[in-house]
Amino acid sequence: MKDPCAHCEEMMQPYLDHVLTDDEMRAAEAHLAECVDCRRRYKFEESLRVYVRKAATEPMPAELKQKLAALRIPLD
Ligand SMILES: [Zn+2]
């Protein structure tokens, strides 16, 4: 019998990409429901993806732009 957590880790990327079959999806979710460690890992991976997606598509917040501008050394 394979270590369920190792199996769960293998499932993580395809799970987050939504390319698992229904059966695999259910198995992954069943394990996540009872395993805090894997749940934490999935959550972390998921939030990382959301962050990366946001960073790629959203314009920089004005506040951050100002902060960066303030760091710039005036040329004149
Ligand atoms: Zn686990």
Q: Model pTM? A: 0.62
The total domain count for the chain is 1
DSSP per-residue string spanning 10-45 = HHHHHHHTT-S-HHHHHHHHHHHHH-HHHHHHHHHH
The better pLDDT of the pair 70, 25 is held by 25
Q: How far is the CA of 60 from the centre of ligand 1 (A)?
A: 37
* Domain span including residue 23: 4-71
Domain assignment of residue 19, yes or no:
yes
Distance (Å, whole) CA 48 – CA 46:
5
What's the whole-number average pLDDT of the chain?
Answer: 87
Q: Which residues are placed with Cβ below 5 angstroms of ligand 1, an ion?
A: 5, 8, 35, 38
44-58: per-residue pLDDT in tens? 999 988 888 888 787
Pairwise CA distance, residues 54 & 59, whole Å: 9
CATH of the domain at 62: 1.10.10
Identify which of 41, 49, 47 has the alpha carbon closest to the alpha carbon of residue 8. Answer: 41
User: Ligand 1: distance of its center to the CA of 52 in Å?
Assistant: 25
Spacing, Cα 27 to ligand 1 middle (Å): 11
The reply to whether 76 falls in a domain is: no
